[in-house]
Structure 1
Amino acid sequence: MRTVLITLLFIAIAPIIYAQNQFSGHITNQETGEPVFSATVYFPRLEKGTTTDIDGNFIIKNLPSGDCKLVVSSIGFTSYSQEVTIPSTNFELVLNPSAVEMEEVIVSTPFHQLQSENVMRVERESVSELNKKGAVTLADGISQIAGVENLSTGVGIGKPVIRGLSSNRVLTYTQGVRMENQQFGGEHGLGISSKGIGSVEVIKGPASLLYGSDALGGVLYLNPEQYASVGETNAEVNGDYFSNTLGYQASAMAKTSGEKLKFIARGSLAEHSDYKAGNGDRVTNTRFNEKDLKTGIAYQNEKFKSDLRYNFNRSELGIPEEIGEQTTSKTLVLPYQQIDNHILSLDNKIYFANSSIDAKFGYQFNNRKEFEDHHEHGEEHEDHAEEEHDHEGEHEEHDHHDEEGETLDPALDMELETFNYNIKYNLPKLGNFETIAGIQGMWQENRNTGEEVLIPNAETVDFGIFATTHFHLTKWDFQAGLRYDTRNIDSEVYGDLDDAEYIQAIDRDFNSFNGAFGAKYQFNKHLNARLNLASGFRAPNLAELTSNGSHHGANRYEVGNANLDNEQNFQIDFSLEWRNEHFEAFANAFHNTINNYIYLSPTGETMNENPVYDYVQDDAELYGGEAGIHIHPHPWDWLHIESSFETVTGKRSDDAYLPLIPANSITNTFRVEFNEGEIIKNKYAFIRLKNVFDKENTSAFETRTGGYSLLGAGIGGRVQLEKSEVQISINGNNLLDKSYIAHLSRLKTDGIANIGRNIMVSVQWFL
């Protein structure tokens, strides 16, 4: 069965040959009448576009006949979105200048619209903008988005937290497929390099209608960088230096595109020493390194598109335990992890006159190894490890050594193999209705080949079917949908009944119906309101159902519960947005009710010198929101003043507070931008102050966290060098070298502070 599923990944649906069509036109500036150069002209449904030349002209070939939405965007202009008829020539468009940030098409929602047209509010940021704020890792970068925080273990290990929910309650999508990398574990990160990621989209709230189980808390959607425009070949080399960790990351990319065939490849590597806290101590064994390869090849004609992408990421991460030896070495010491992640995705689209089929397939192989000090383990463990090492001859050996140079076998060696599919049919429009129906599914196998077992060998099978529709009126937009999901988890027994770490076999079925309804009302061209009601669910994961052992990275002994039920939630989300040429403001409020919320509760006992925690369930609720303003006053369009506030509170049904809920915070940014210049273009400078408030409302086994303020600043610009350009930026975080402990730091229990002052110098060379 597995072989058949993997083989499907490489089978593209044969292209259907039709007459070639093209769409061409001319774009000008409304105020000056001059042509608009380098404007993006894009058909979201077809995922095909181009840019205007120096005379404002464009042409897109190999298009299907019919009506299709066109989006035109350019920095300094209001984005245009309208349906047009293909084929068409001599299309004339006049863009209106605006100081408002350029809108982009939202990919994570089903109808690929601009954010202003979306019924669901989605946060979108380009990775280049996040990097300008001095982020060390991708997980660090996304915490700059309002409502998103970072559950961290040092600098190299971090997981996104969306409105107080994280780990298996937040789905991560990359290359159009859901990431599966043992995300139940808090002691490893995303396993994705920010290099080669174009933009980040965040859905805050239940997205089970679109993505099934585990999207109960939201979705982090990573869009890969785009191919070159038709007829172009581009290359890029960039390097970053981080003063705090004495770290660096380097990356090189090349891409080329013909009329139908496109190719892209990028290689990246990074190395960091132990980070230094604001008190001057280096936090022992927070060093990490990363190697990453991303490549893709795509083919598109007038009726068919296929995009094959591959990503390999190797992360080697130290596991910090205490403040010890003070060194700037980048060589890993025990304990540490090596995590290999392979992602292969195939995205096929077939276009008809007014409908299309979208079929995505993904294959992933994740191998997580943990190397620790020598462990004593029983004969049963040794026999089990020997048996698993022989499993199908598939385990690849790597040489790892301790300080005496002896070869080490990993104490923990987990292999996770996943195949998933997502097939959608975009139905022809019926009046003002746009409708999508589809199926999604996943097959997954977990295997252990090390001496320790966190979760047993198991197979997981998912299947979901859904439909969603969008209804558009002049001032109103409505969106609704319904979905049904099933999940089967079938695990093997581990150990003997008399063993202390015995794990019983389980065979559980989970299912859930979920729905969503949303409405957007446009009061006038400046003000709109959104109301979204959605339910979501999450089936318990293997760790929650079957755990019975020590988690050394988390320093606790976890005991699972085979009788756990689905988590089921219902969220109400309301937002208001005001937007004109020089002022923007937004306010979001949400209330999230979760039945059967699963959490770890300490028992007061110890096992293997670690405190024992049980997985238990209780009803819970989370509520809060975000608010912000963005001012760019006339005539100083180069000036930007931004402020955002976020808050979330989480409680159980007995009124006790939930653990790992982020503290309230407010971020103020003063930024200037100058796009034109004789020598340096796209110049920017900013200063940012993030104030985090005291965290008093903690769970029973957490302590309060004091508030703190972090000052950041940066400058940058782009220099033209004949036929190439160089982007140079210098950004700093925690410039006052504040010693602080974030509430979501997993090192908080050991009294270990977060990273101190860090200056990032970045150079990008565009060839």
Structure 2
Amino acid sequence: MLLALLVQFTFAQNTLQGTINSQDDQTPLEQVSIYFPQLEKGTVTNSAGYYEINNLPLGEFKIVISYIGFQTYSQTVEIKNNNTKLSLNLMPSAIEIEEVIVSTPFHKLQRENVMKVERTSIKDLKNAGSINLSEGITTIPGVESVSTGVGIGKPVIRGLSANRVLTYTQGIRLENQQFGDEHGLGISDAGIESVEVIKGPASLLYGSDALGGVLYLNPEKFANSNDVEGDVNFNYFTNTQGYNGSAGFKTSSEKIKFLLRAGGSSHVDYKTGNNERVTNSRFNEKDIKTGLAYQLAHFKTELRYNYNNSELGIPEEIGAQTTSRSAVEPFQDITSHIISSKSNLYFNNSSLQAIIGFTRNDRKEFEDHHHEEEHEEEHEEEHEEEHEEEGAALDMLLETLSYNLQYNMPKIGAVETIVGLQGMNQKNSNYGEEILIPDATTNDIGLLATSHIHFSKSDIQLGVRYDIRSIVAEASGTAGEEGFIETVDRNFNSFNIAAGYKLDVSNNFITRLNIASGFRAPNLAELTSNGSHEGTNRFEIGNANLNNERNIQTDLSLEFSNEHFEFYVNGFYNSISDYIYLEPNGTTLNGDAVFLYQQQDANLYGGEAGIHYHPHPLDWLHMESNFSSVTGKLKSSGYLPLIPANNWANTLRIEVNEINESFNNGYGFVTIKSYFAQNNVSDFETKSDGYSLLNLGIGGTITISNQPMELKLSANNILDKEYISHLSRLKTDGISNIGRNINLSINIPL
């Protein structure tokens, strides 16, 4: 790297410049985004429509030019001398801005991707009034959340969750004991710019645990060169008397970039539609994200760090009705440190990327010792002292070092190819009186190669990958006694392939067909469990002889879009071999039913369909509708657990970009989301009734004395409907989900 830095001074400082105008009347367009996804470098046009990007390497790079109300431009540009020029006239379009997909290897727009990926911005999730990221992602068709109240949630992608869905942040794996039902996502939406969801096996790109899909969180970008930005935002939620907010600052010169964001949130127990507070559903969070980058023409490196501390109450009943913010037992105290380093070297027609990450997840759980709660508020300090004296019943430290090396080879004709090496070293350590999973070390290594072949009207993507995972777990407890865990020393390997084909049937009609295999090695809980699992009322017994889960999924999608109408249909069939599941054996231990980890082939199938209509000349009016369905069955008999109910969402939305000098970017929406009854349940689940929720919101940017302010008002479950989600872990206790919740938000750019 040091040699590479020295070499940079021998290269000329290459520049791209030009002007961007409207094709209709040739007027200059201001604040148009010009961005190189591969270089992660960009700028915006000035009032004359002029832009200039300096310090560029030689070679061919994808450029994306986008502006609200105009068609996104995406082409390959060759930087071949000191001063390259590119001027464009953008075509007006009512279709929303297309963004570059980062979670797939070739950084293309969605319409150019062979693999279908859903993308949504955090701004859009906040417009919908979501309390946290786990709730927000449920607005994406085919994505739901297994929840424990409103503070704990984890993603479900087409019926698969936990260790079958991999979460990425800052370009690295987010490792925080995902196996547990009551273990949430564990990351704040502060400092996250957008969310991408790969539905289906992504083992080719990410290895084990991506059998069911990937939730990819994109951190906020650094400021453009020679720019300084800042903002302060605040949200208030009426139902939980909750607030969250953050403040951010970022600055960039031509070579050095820096950003910092600090935020936090606090919520009391939530109220159901029956106006009852769910005891101990309160939660608090503190979050800091910062980054530093150094960029030259042919070299770029960045270092990011995220600190997050969450105190999460574990609700069990509707008891004491208080508005205290201090957690009472049982509760979790979770601290995470995420450090990532990403470096890129750019050659004339190829590039090398190295990402190294380290995560430290410290998870403590304080058990319910049945303290008297009649005078809870008077004795909060006394309880806090008792917590310190008693210590955490469960205290697990998970440390993960991961690496990802990818070489983007020189393009050969229409063929782009990436080869890579990925892996991790992970260590789990216990310090509490209880052992849920043993001390263990996990090592991964994977080799991959994937190619994208572009033709005039179609694209093909092919890939292969080979993985090896080793798990060594130490013995725990005394042989012959309850809770004893034997030593485990297992090796798993898997070979996976993926193939995709995209055909541009016409300028407006696209079809995609993808077939991919995936795998998942059994996790520590499945291999070693031997005890009562708190919160689930089960005595779980693991199986050290479990095999890899393996799957093959076929996806077919049809998409049509023109200036005023969009339509899509996505269908999938997912065949899983040796699916791991829990099954009761008819006995009890310590009053809990005994469940054994078993394996059996399973199938999941379903899909999503949607339309988006914005009639001419009423381009400000949008009518949207989408439907999602998934069915999961074991091969012999019975249904899979935690399969989301079919749902149908209908939205009427208004968007007005410019109203007057004092008010712009205005919007308003009304959404009705209906969940159908879920009668296809596993042997130890209960059926769920159907229900509909009415949500609405308005917002816009108001300018006072040259200071813009974004104001938003949203209301979810506006009719205060009492309901129980099929994916709520509180369903077995008959505890309803959150009732009416009104959110007021203000964001002030500085």
| Aligned residue number for residue 7 of structure 2 | 16
Cα deviation, residue 67, structure 1: 1.6
Deviations 1:536-593 (A, max 9, x none): 0000000100011122133322111000000000000000000000000000000000
Q: 1:760 aligns with which of 736, 743, 747?
A: 743
Q: Is the 8 A contact 1:557 1:612 kept in 2?
A: yes
One-letter code of the match for 1:492? E
| Aligned residue number for residue 633 of structure 2 | 651
Closer/same/farther in 2, CA of residues 15 and 562 from structure 1, 3 Å limit: farther
| Aligned residue number for residue 621 of structure 1 | 603
1:718-733 equivalences under 5 Å are 718-733=701-716
Closer/same/farther in 2, CA of residues 755 and 288 from structure 1, 3 Å limit: same
Q: 1:93 aligns with which of 52, 76, 88?
A: 88
Q: 1:664 aligns with which of 639, 646, 663?
A: 646
| Aligned residue number for residue 25 of structure 2 | 32
One-letter code of the match for 1:372? E
For 1:91 and 1:596, the matched residues in 2 are separated by 54
| Aligned residue number for residue 485 of structure 2 | 503
For 1:724 and 1:61, the matched residues in 2 are separated by 30
For 2:706 and 2:383, the matched residues in 1 are separated by 48
For 1:361 and 1:404, the matched residues in 2 are separated by 40
Q: 1:540 aligns with which of 482, 498, 522?
A: 522
| Aligned residue number for residue 52 of structure 1 | 45
Kindly tell me the number of residue pairs found equivalent between the two proteins. 735
Secondary structure at the residue paired with 1:230?
coil
Secondary structure at the residue paired with 1:255?
strand
For 2:453 and 2:681, the matched residues in 1 are separated by 43
| Aligned residue number for residue 722 of structure 2 | 739
| Aligned residue number for residue 463 of structure 1 | 445
For 1:13 and 1:541, the matched residues in 2 are separated by 41
Cα deviation, residue 400, structure 1: 9.7
Cα deviation, residue 64, structure 1: 0.7
Scaled by the length of structure 2, what TM-score is found? 0.96
Q: 1:674 aligns with which of 628, 644, 656?
A: 656
Cα deviation, residue 374, structure 1: 4.3
Alignment of 1:686 onto 2:679: no
| Aligned residue number for residue 448 of structure 1 | 430
For 2:257 and 2:142, the matched residues in 1 are separated by 37
For 1:699 and 1:666, the matched residues in 2 are separated by 23
| Aligned residue number for residue 327 of structure 1 | 322
One-letter code of the match for 1:728? L
Secondary structure at the residue paired with 1:16?
helix
For 1:66 and 1:723, the matched residues in 2 are separated by 42
| Aligned residue number for residue 702 of structure 1 | 685
Q: Is the 8 A contact 2:438 2:485 kept in 1?
A: yes
Q: Is the 8 A contact 1:216 1:538 kept in 2?
A: yes
Secondary structure at the residue paired with 1:131?
helix
Structure 1, unaligned stretches of length 5 or more?
1-9, 376-398
One-letter code of the match for 1:668? N
One-letter code of the match for 1:221? Y
| Aligned residue number for residue 593 of structure 1 | 575
Q: Is the 8 A contact 1:334 1:402 kept in 2?
A: no
Q: 2:550 aligns with which of 568, 575, 597?
A: 568
Q: 2:161 aligns with which of 159, 166, 179?
A: 166
For 1:290 and 1:730, the matched residues in 2 are separated by 23
For 1:346 and 1:723, the matched residues in 2 are separated by 39
Cα deviation, residue 234, structure 1: 0.9
Cα deviation, residue 723, structure 1: 4.5
Closer/same/farther in 2, CA of residues 759 and 15 from structure 1, 3 Å limit: farther
Cα RMSD, aligned residues only: 1.4
| Aligned residue number for residue 378 of structure 1 | none
Closer/same/farther in 2, CA of residues 539 and 467 from structure 1, 3 Å limit: same
Closer/same/farther in 2, CA of residues 367 and 406 from structure 1, 3 Å limit: closer
For 1:406 and 1:663, the matched residues in 2 are separated by 42
Cα deviation, residue 610, structure 1: 2.5
One-letter code of the match for 2:534? H
Q: Is the 8 A contact 1:264 1:296 kept in 2?
A: yes
Q: How many percent of aligned residue pairs carry the same amino acid?
A: 58
| Aligned residue number for residue 303 of structure 1 | 298
Q: Is the 8 A contact 2:425 2:442 kept in 1?
A: yes
For 1:407 and 1:400, the matched residues in 2 are separated by 11
For 2:3 and 2:445, the matched residues in 1 are separated by 22
Q: 1:128 aligns with which of 96, 118, 123?
A: 123
One-letter code of the match for 1:349? N
One-letter code of the match for 1:659? P
Cα deviation, residue 644, structure 1: 0.2
Deviations 1:237-258 (A, max 9, x none): 1110000001100211111111
One-letter code of the match for 1:459? T
Q: Is the 8 A contact 1:12 1:306 kept in 2?
A: no
Deviations 1:723-767 (A, max 9, x none): 532100000100000000000001001111000000010011111
Cα deviation, residue 112, structure 1: 0.0
For 2:568 and 2:624, the matched residues in 1 are separated by 12
Cα deviation, residue 43, structure 1: 1.2
Alignment of 1:263 onto 2:258: yes
One-letter code of the match for 2:617? P
One-letter code of the match for 2:742? I
Q: Is the 8 A contact 1:234 1:766 kept in 2?
A: yes
One-letter code of the match for 1:656? G
1:57-456 equivalences under 5 Å are 57-86=50-79, 87=81, 88-374=83-369, 401-402=383-384, 407-456=389-438
For 1:680 and 1:196, the matched residues in 2 are separated by 26
Q: Is the 8 A contact 2:329 2:369 kept in 1?
A: no
One-letter code of the match for 2:51? F
Cα deviation, residue 329, structure 1: 1.0
Cα deviation, residue 403, structure 1: 7.5
Secondary structure at the residue paired with 1:276?
coil
Cα deviation, residue 279, structure 1: 1.1
Q: 2:458 aligns with which of 465, 476, 494?
A: 476
One-letter code of the match for 2:146? L
Q: Is the 8 A contact 2:41 2:224 kept in 1?
A: no
One-letter code of the match for 1:16? V
| Aligned residue number for residue 392 of structure 1 | none
| Aligned residue number for residue 396 of structure 1 | none
Q: Is the 8 A contact 2:58 2:348 kept in 1?
A: yes
For 1:653 and 1:405, the matched residues in 2 are separated by 47
For 1:627 and 1:255, the matched residues in 2 are separated by 40
Q: Is the 8 A contact 2:439 2:473 kept in 1?
A: yes
| Aligned residue number for residue 383 of structure 1 | none
Q: Is the 8 A contact 1:400 1:407 kept in 2?
A: no
For 1:100 and 1:15, the matched residues in 2 are separated by 46
Cα deviation, residue 14, structure 1: 4.2
Deviations 1:318-341 (A, max 9, x none): 011111111111111111000101
Cα deviation, residue 443, structure 1: 0.1
Q: Is the 8 A contact 1:197 1:223 kept in 2?
A: yes
Cα deviation, residue 405, structure 1: 7.5
For 2:104 and 2:331, the matched residues in 1 are separated by 38
For 2:146 and 2:210, the matched residues in 1 are separated by 17
One-letter code of the match for 1:106? I
| Aligned residue number for residue 390 of structure 1 | none
Cα deviation, residue 12, structure 1: 11
Alignment of 1:715 onto 2:708: no
Cα deviation, residue 401, structure 1: 4.3
For 1:12 and 1:98, the matched residues in 2 are separated by 47
Q: 2:35 aligns with which of 26, 30, 42?
A: 42
Closer/same/farther in 2, CA of residues 13 and 333 from structure 1, 3 Å limit: farther
For 1:93 and 1:404, the matched residues in 2 are separated by 68
